Each structure stands twice: as structure tokens, then as C-alpha cells.
Amino acid sequence: MSADTYLDPRVLRTRRHVLASARAVLVEEGWQGVTVTRVADRSGYARTTLYRHWPQRLDLLRDLITEEVHLLHTAPTGDVRADLVAELEAFRVAITTTGLGRVMIAIGQQASDDAELAELSSAVRADGTRVLEEVITAALARGELGAQLDRDVAVAQLVGPVLFRYLFDSHEDLDDAFVASVVDLFLRGASCPAGSEDERLSAGTPDSDATPHEETRNPS
């Protein structure tokens, strides 16, 4: 489809309407319910119209999930704690209220047997964690996090507890206070240690590998 077609207001309106209907089906019926036929019925558009925009069901799912992921993102402010809390809270709300959580689980379960779903799963992960990675990268550049921190590990430490509680605990226990506690625990472990090299030198603390005559003088 050409770029000019996407700029046509009628086409954009149709796509928005169909994706909104697909989102409603997703929330109410789960990802298996998001079929071209079901979404056509829900939206009031003919199936031929949907097939022109999304030749395969996977195309419709990809656009739907991409839109959901884009909607959950926040705009970083430069305050590492506030930014992590805001983005992780947006993720929590998305997986518990929009059906995104069920979709992610379903795709993850089947990705190992389906190359197209594996590609979609990878794309969802990359886009879904983009802002968290940006916040972490900026904090590393400002020296607010330990230089040895691995970004992928950091994202897993933040997202993992939220997904675990979503899967195995009551959703009533998955609230904004839990999100804040996850971020605070992460920051306690990831922040630059108090005994960093610069702080040790400024405080006059001797290096652990200093030679004996530098550490202790023999009495004369």
C-alpha cells in the first residue's frame, strides 16, 4: 500500500475504527477471537475491506499490538526513578486492562513453533521495552547507575516481577505501589555504589592494593 493511501483521511479513519473494534474484541474475547471475520462483524466493515488493509490475520494482530504498545509509552523527564515508575506503571495498566498481557503470553507460547509469531514476539519485546532502555541508557550516561549494568538484565529485573505477579498472583496485588517497590528495589541494586573510586579518592581513603609502607609507617 502506498504512502499516499495512508495519508487519505478516509483510509486512516477506517483503520482507526477497525483497530478500535479489534481492541474491543481482544479485551472481551482474548487474542484467539481477533479474526478478520469477527472484527469485520464488530466494526461494521465488509471482510473485503479488512483484507485490503490486512491480507492475513497476523497482519491485523501485528498492527493492533503495535498500536497498543505505542499507547502505553510515556515521555521521559530525566528523573530516573520517576521515569521508570511511570513507564512500568503504564505497562502494568496495559497488561491488566487492554488484553495486551494475554496476547503477549499467547504469542510467547507459540513463538517457538511459528516463525512469523516469533518475529512478532521479538518486535513486540523490542518496542515494548524501548522507553525503559532509553531511561536506563540516559541514567548510565549521567552516572546515576553502575557502569557495569547490563541493559537487557535491567529491563528483565523491572518487567519480570510485574509479569510474574500478573501470571501467578491476584491482580489486586498488582498495583501502583507494587510497581514503585519494584523500581526502588532495582535502583538500590543498580545505583552507583557509595564506595566508588571517585568518592574514595575524594575522601582520602587508601586503595586496598596500596603498598604496606603507604598504609602503615613503622615507628622510628
What CA–CA distance (Å, rounded) separates 139 from 145?
A: 6
Digit-coded pLDDT (tens) for 122-151: 888 888 899 999 999 999 999 999 999 999
Cell numbers found for residue 142: 549521567
**Which H or E element spans position 158?**
helix 151-168
CA 125/CA 96 separation, integer angstroms: 17
Residues of the chain with pLDDT under 70: 1-7, 192-220
Whole-model pTM over 0.85: no
Q: What's the confidence (pLDDT) of residue 43?
A: 95
Spatial separation of the C-alpha atoms in residues 208 and 55, rounded to whole Å: 66
| Domain spans in the chain, listed from the N-terminal domain onward | 3-55, 66-192
Architecture of domain 3-55: Orthogonal Bundle (1.10)
| Of the candidates 54, 76, 79, the residue with the CA atom closest to the CA atom of residue 67 | 54
Q: Please name the fold of domain 66-192.
A: Tetracycline Repressor; domain 2 (1.10.357)
Residue 103: predicted pLDDT: 77
